[in-house]
Amino acid sequence: MDNNKIANVFDELAELLEFKGENPFRIRAYRQGAKAIRDLAEPVAQIVADPNRKLSDLPGIGKTLVDKTTVLLETGTLPQLEKLRGEVPEVLMQMSGIPGLGAKKAARLHDELGIESLDQLREACKDGRVAGLKGFGKKTAESILGGLSIAEQAAERIFWSKGDQLAASIEQHMRDGAGIAEMCWAGSYRRGRDTVGDLDLLVVAEDRQAAMDHFEAYSQRTQTIGRGETKISIRVNKAFQVDMRCVEANQFGAALQYFTGSQAHNVHVRRLAKKQGLKVNEYGVFRVDDDTMVAGATEQDVYAAVGLPWIPPELREDRLEFQWVEQTEPSPLIETQEVLGDMHMHTTATDGQNTLREMADAAIERGLQYIAITDHSQRVSMARGLDSERLLEQWEMIDQLRPEYEGRLEIFKGIECDILEAGGMDLPDDVLSQADWVLASVHYGQRQSRQQITDRIVGAINNPHVDCVAHPTGRLINRRPPYEVDMEAVMQAALESGTLLELNANPARLDLNEVHLAMAKRLGIGIVISTDAHSTYGFEVMPYGIKQARRGGLTAADVVNTRSAEAFMAQVAAASE
C-alpha cells in the first residue's frame, strides 16, 4: 500500500470512531497520523523496512499507528476497519456532510427514526418527525432540510482556479466600497490547495457594519447564513460559503496567520512560542507571564516574535516549511514570471482550437521565449492524433516558420506520444529521434494493474528519445483518481535516466501533486511546468501550476523551463547521451 492509501485508512478510522463516540484524543491521533503519512516525501514502506530508522520518530505517529501501518503494509487490510464498517451504517457517513448536523444528532436520527437514506431524512423533515424529536424542533428540521440540498450541491470542493476567480470578483466588489483599510484572503485558498471548500476574507474597516452591508450586497450572494458584530457568512451560487471577518488593525497579522492555517502548522508555531514563554492566537503574540502583546499587526511580526522568518502560505502544512526556515538563507519559491518556456500545447492539427501560428503569436504576447508544439500521436484517435506522415509534415511547417520568429520565439518540434497499453511508444523510434522534444503520456489502459502501468511508464522513461513524462499520475481532480502507479519506481527511473517530469498546470490536473513534487525535489529530478494549452487562452493556467509548485517547495532552480532555451535543450540533450 502506498502512503495515500494508508492515510485514507486512518482518516476513515477516525470518522467511524467519531460516530461510535470514541475518545476524541484517539480520533485526533488517527487524523494527525493520516496527515503525517500523506505528507511524507518518501514511501512509508521504505522507512519501516530500514532497520536504522523508526516510523515513530516522525511527528504525529505513535506506537499504535506504527503497528497498524505495519499490518497494512503486510496484509493490505485492517481488521479493526472492517469491523467498524459493519457497525456504522453508511447513511451516518452521508449525513455527516450536512452543515450543522453532527455525529450525535445523526446517530439519533438513525436510531430513533430509523433513517436509512438521505431521501428518508428529507421526508422525515417534511412530515414533522424530525421536529418532534426531543432536542430538535421545527427550526432544526428546517435547517437540516436546507442543509440536505446544500450538501448535495457542495459535495465536491471546487477547483482552486474557480475559487481564485470568485475571490477576485469579491475583492473587486469590496474595493469599490468605502472604508476598507486592509484586506486579505485566508484559509486553504491562500495556501493554494488544489481544491477549496469555502473562502475566508479578513478586513480592517473604519465602519464594520458598513463593510458587512457592502459584503452582503455582492451581486452573486444567494443567502446570508449568519451575521454578527465581527463576522458575516454568505452563500454564493446556491451552495458555496464565503466568510468575512472584521479585525482590529493591530491584530490583522495575527488573525491572518491564524485563519490561513493549516491547523497543523499553527500547532507547530504555538509549540515554538511556548518554549519562549509566549502564546500565539488570532489576536496576537503575548508574553505568558504578564499577557503583554508583543506582535500582531503583520504576519512578519508574528513569525519574527517566535524566531522565524515569514513563511510563504503555500508551505504552511507542517510538512516542508520548518526545514525550509532552517536554511541559512531560504531560497525564494518560484514565481510565474520566472518561467521562460511552455513545453506542452496542442493545435488544430489535433484537438486544439488555434493554429500553430496563433499559438506562437499568443506565446510571444505572454512573454515566453520558447515553446514546443506537442500534438497528440495517432493512438488518440478521438483527437485525430498524428501518424508519422502527418507529424513529419507538421515539423516541416515548423522549420519553415522558424526564420519568421527568429529573435522573438524559439519553436521546438515536439509530440505528446502515447505509451501503448502493451508497452512501447505509439510512434517508431526513427520518427521520435527527429523530434526536439518528446512527451510520453498514458491516455488508455488506465485501469490496468499497478505493475502494468508502472512498467509502461518506466519503459517509456528508458526510451532514449523520451524527454519528459506528461501528467504522470493521470488524475482529474474531483472526477478521476490517479491510476495505480508506483511513483517511487517512476522517480527512480527518471533519476537514473535524466528524464524530466511534468507538472501539468491545467487546474483539473495539477499533476504532479505537491507531495510528489517535494519527492522529486529531494531526489534532484528536473520538473517542467507546462500548460497543456488547447487554445491561446490555455496559456493563462500557468499561475495555477506555479501555485502547486510552491506548495511542493520548488524554486526556480528546480524547474527546468525557467532556463534559457539554449540551457533547457542542453539539459535535454545531455540526458539523451
CATH number of the domain bearing residue 515 = 3.20.20.140
Same domain, 69 and 117: no
Q: Which helix (H) or strand (E) holds 255?
A: helix 252-260
Reading across the β-sheet that carries 293-295, which strands appear in turn?
A: 278-281, 284-287, 293-295
Does some domain include residue 331?
Answer: no
* pLDDT at residue 487, rounded to an integer: 95
Q: Using CA atoms, how far apart are residues 345 and 470, in angstroms rounded to an integer?
A: 11
Q: Are 373 and 414 in contact (CB under 8 A)?
A: yes
Does some domain include residue 342?
Answer: yes
Same domain, 298 and 220: no
Same domain, 386 and 522: yes
Does some domain include residue 471?
Answer: yes
Same domain, 272 and 185: no
Whichever domain contains 122, its CATH number is 1.10.150.20
Q: Using CA atoms, how far apart are residues 224 and 216, in angstroms rounded to an integer?
A: 7
Does some domain include residue 253?
Answer: no
Q: Using CA atoms, how far apart are residues 352 and 168, in angstroms rounded to an integer?
A: 28
Same domain, 394 and 539: yes
Same domain, 432 and 457: yes
Angle at 448 between CA 444 and CA 451, to 5 degrees: 125
- What is 91-143 written as a DSSP string? HHHHHTTSTT--HHHHHHHHHHH---SHHHHHHHHHTTTTTTSTTTHHHHHHH
Q: Which residues span the domain enclosing 119?
A: 90-153
Query: Quick one: cell of 413?
Result: 518540434
DSSP conformational letter for 369: S
Whichever domain contains 54, its CATH number is 1.10.150.110
Which of these, 210, 209, 208, 160, lies nearest to 185 by C-alpha position?
Answer: 160
Does some domain include residue 234?
Answer: yes
Which of 246, 267, 293 delimits the end of a domain?
246
Distances (CA, A) of 144 to 91, 99, 100, 403, 431: 14, 8, 8, 66, 62
Whichever domain contains 267, its CATH number is 3.30.210.10
Same domain, 466 and 371: yes
Same domain, 515 and 450: yes
* pLDDT at residue 154, rounded to an integer: 46
Which of 110, 134, 153 delimits the end of a domain?
153
Q: Using CA atoms, how far apart are residues 511 and 442, in angstroms rounded to an integer?
A: 13
Does some domain include residue 472?
Answer: yes
Q: Please give the chain's pLDDT, 577 residues, in tens.
A: 778 788 888 888 888 888 777 888 888 888 888 888 887 777 888 888 888 888 888 877 888 888 999 999 888 888 888 888 878 887 887 787 676 677 778 888 988 999 888 889 999 999 999 999 988 888 888 888 877 765 555 455 789 998 999 999 999 999 987 689 999 999 999 999 999 989 999 999 999 999 999 999 998 888 888 899 999 999 887 678 999 999 999 999 999 999 999 999 999 999 999 999 999 999 999 999 999 999 999 999 999 999 999 999 999 999 889 888 887 678 899 999 999 999 999 999 999 989 999 999 999 999 999 999 999 999 998 889 999 999 999 999 999 999 999 999 999 999 999 999 999 999 999 999 999 999 999 999 998 999 999 999 999 999 999 999 999 999 988 778 899 999 999 999 999 999 999 999 999 999 999 999 999 999 999 999 999 999 999 999 999 999 999 999 999 999 999 999 999 999 999 887 7
Does some domain include residue 251?
Answer: no
Does some domain include residue 113?
Answer: yes
For residue 204, how many C-alpha atoms fall within 13 Å in the half-sphere facing its CB?
13
Which of 225, 246, 267 delimits the end of a domain?
246
* pLDDT at residue 150, rounded to an integer: 58
3-state SS class at 167: helix
Same domain, 354 and 407: yes
Residue 462: what residue type? N
Same domain, 140 and 165: no
Backbone φ and ψ for 19, nearest 5 degrees, come out as: -65, -25
Q: Are 380 and 352 in contact (CB under 8 A)?
A: no
Q: Using CA atoms, how far apart are residues 272 and 290, in angstroms rounded to an integer?
A: 18
Same domain, 395 and 510: yes
Same domain, 505 and 413: yes
**Strand-pair partners of 234:** 224, 242
Whichever domain contains 166, its CATH number is 3.30.460.10
Q: Using CA atoms, how far apart are residues 16 and 81, in angstroms rounded to an integer?
A: 8
Peptide bond into 262 cis (omega under 30): yes
Q: How many domains does the chain have?
A: 5
Distances (CA, A) of 515 to 70, 471, 488, 502: 22, 14, 12, 14
Other C-beta atoms lying within 10 Å of the C-beta of residue 459: 17
